[in-house]
Structure 1
Amino acid sequence: MPHDAPSPDNARTAWSVLEPVHLPVYFAPEARARYAAIGLEHRAMNYFASRSAAMGAVGPGTVAAAFYNFNPEAVRSVLPHAWSLAAPETVLAARNDVADQALRRILGEEAVGSEPIKEAAELARKAALAAADLPHGRPLFAGHAGLEWPGEPHMVLWHAATLLREFRGDGHTAALIDAGVTPMDALVSHAATGAVKFSFLRKSRGWSEEDMEAGVRGAVERGLVTTDEAGTLCLTDAGRTLRSHLEERTDVLSAEPYSAIGGRGCERLAELLKPFLEALKAEGLRPGPGTKR
């Protein structure tokens, strides 16, 4: 095991370069056609079913709890119906196909088998395997950790990215709960950072305008956000402190698996993937579902 212990900053750096590798499975053009081929009818069904299938044919309550800030009614609108259209193992096979096809297209056939991708895949795999020894209290991660590893380098990289982002996501949920942040407070305060549009968060999480307006009023009452003269959400000092604490705590809770590759391994992973990030980000894929903010 490397002697240079990874820092929380190393964990964030690794996440920032691995997350774009994972995202095509939800938002790439290949996703809709492939999921439709197995009977999944629309994007919400694709998302909830494909992300939760690693846990088996679980019910909507389990999925809503694991995904944290999605409207439980939105989950109930597609689960368990999705499992009557496609069993979890069928959904998982389709998801792997989407990842394979999308990454081959985005990165190019030459790149997916290149030495940098192979080296990055091996580094990410080492960290993901270390994470697999730490499943406690991380149900969504644990479901994915029980899946078989693929064989090709770009798919090893994708699977490792998936494991590490779900490990981080479960940790983020723990940080939210520990800080007493409700699902709606998480969404509203995230929107108030300006990083993601309020309208995107509302629609992607399945909340109505009335629900979100009530959420804003609650966050205002708790002193987390305010609105300016134009009606734009803004974080208060307390809100900024809370968001900073959540991000820092999430980084801390995400760092341990990277002990397998050390701080220098995290830096090397970022170095290896940097040339590919432009192509991945050029897809315009949204980082919304799954971040649990």
Structure 2
Amino acid sequence: MTEVTPALAREAWRLAEPLHAMIYFVPESRERFDALGIGATAGYFASRGGALGPSGPGPVVATFYNFNPELVAGALPAAWRTTTPAAALAARLDAADAALTRGLGDAVESPEVAEAAELARLATESATAYAAGRPLFAAHAALDWPDRPHLVLWHAVTVLREFRGDGHVAALLVAGLTGLQSMVLHTASGQVNGEFLRASRGWSREQWAEQAAVLRERGLLDGEELSDRGRELRARIEDDTDRLALPAYEVLGAERCGRLAELVRPLSRTLVKAGFLAAAAPQRK
């Protein structure tokens, strides 16, 4: 079995990511969180953070990493006076079911989705051997698996995303970057919608500007653009993140990892073309 490279594992993650990420933008999520009486923002923290149990803001601030603590504190633990972690998680899964069915149509019942689900689940279950130091992944990995293939795929991609995310947080810590600083640097790369990141994470323009100034003092920004040092640091962080994410995919070997990427590519492309992730698209300059 040919070994999986970090680049191949990253490609499998990148091509599958829209299948998970769409849950943060689709109306199905807002509708179900509204039905719980908690609204979209609280629903996000309650459903993703619900894997940690009925906690206050502390564990969510720590593990999500880049949100303004005041935004999180406005949602938790208040949401637990209205709903429960189990209900929030169930609402998110139900939203994923409805959104994927709407976006992919008959493809949710296809052999390709079933095959992708099998491969992604294998990677996810293998990753549990590397759960140490990955609290958000470990919490999600302990959740029950859904039954239907398209939901197995969604759940697996979601848990694998948390596996990679925990490793990314570790890489940011080693690099000496706060969550807000990491977003400022990411925005300077031109790859993301900075205004969306800032507003959705609850940071003011003043707070953003303050941290941009700190990064300039560190020589990581040149004006609003990445400096050479900034590009080098971002490249190192991404390399570290890829390396830390690799163990989840090694069980597949290169051939099956490539097959997973091949299977999810058209599914994710369909969702992106349908505007399921439009809010997070990079701004045109």
Note whether the superposition's TM-score is higher than 0.5.
yes
How far apart are residue 286 of structure 1 and its match? 5.4
For structure 1, which segment, 79-88 or 277-286, has the greater mean C-alpha deviation from structure 2 after superposition?
A: 277-286
Question: Any idea what SS the aligned residue of 1:132 has?
Answer: helix
Matched with 1:249 is 240
TM-score (norm 2): 0.95
Q: Does 1:234 align with 2:216?
A: no
Size of the aligned set, in residue pairs, is 279
Is 1:162–2:154 an aligned residue pair? no
- Give the superposition deviation at 1:266: 1.3
Name the % identity: 49
Q: CA deviation at 1:275?
A: 2.0
Superposed displacement of residue 278, structure 1: 2.1
The residue type paired with residue 159 of structure 1 is H
Instruction: Write out aligned runs for 1:120-159 (5 A).
Output: 120-159=116-155
Secondary structure, counterpart of 1:147 in structure 2: coil
Structure 1 consecutive aligned stretches of length 4 or more whose deviation exceeds 6 Å: none
Separation (CA, whole Å) in 2 of partners of 1:69 and 1:277? 25
Q: Does 1:97 align with 2:94?
A: yes
CA separation in 1, counterparts of 2:258 and 2:279?
A: 22
1:4 aligns with 2:40: no
**Paired residues of 1:111 and 1:117 also in contact (CA < 8 A):** yes
CA distance in 2, matches of 1:261, 1:15: 13
Alignment partner, residue 36 of structure 2 = 38
Give SS of 1:70's match: coil
Rate the CA distance shift 1:123–1:287 in 2: closer, same or farther, 3 A: farther
Q: Please name the residue that 2:283 is paired with.
A: none
- 2-side partners of 1:214 and 1:179: how far apart? 19
Whichever structure has more helix as a proportion of its residues is 2
Shift of 1:85: 1.2
Note the C-alpha offset of 1:284. Answer: 4.0
Q: 1:152-207 CA deviation, whole Å, 9 max, x = no partner? A: 00000001001100000000000111121222220110110011132112101100
Are 2:277 and 1:285 aligned?
yes
- 1:230 maps to none
Q: What 5-or-longer segments of structure 1 have no aligned partner?
A: 228-232, 289-293
The 8 Å contact of residues 6 and 256 in structure 1, kept in 2 or not, is answered as no
Structure 2 counterpart of 1:223, from 219, 225, 229: 219
Question: Which of 43, 46, 49 is the equivalent residue of 2:46?
Answer: 49
Evaluate the alpha carbon distance shift between residue 120 and residue 46 of structure 1 in structure 2; reply closer, same or farther with a 3 A threshold: same
> Matches of 1:5 and 1:249 in 2, distance apart?
18
Q: For residue 184 of structure 1, what is the amino acid of its counterpart?
A: L
Query: Does 2:52 correspond to 1:58?
Result: no
Q: Deviations for 1:85-118, whole angstroms, at most 9, x for unmatched residues?
A: 110000011011001000011000x211111001
What amino acid sits opposite 2:24 in the alignment?
Y
Unpaired stretches in structure 2, ≥5 consecutive residues: 281-285
- Counterpart position of 1:17: 15
Amino acid at match of 1:23: A
Aligned CA-pair RMSD: 1.2
Aligned to 1:85: 82
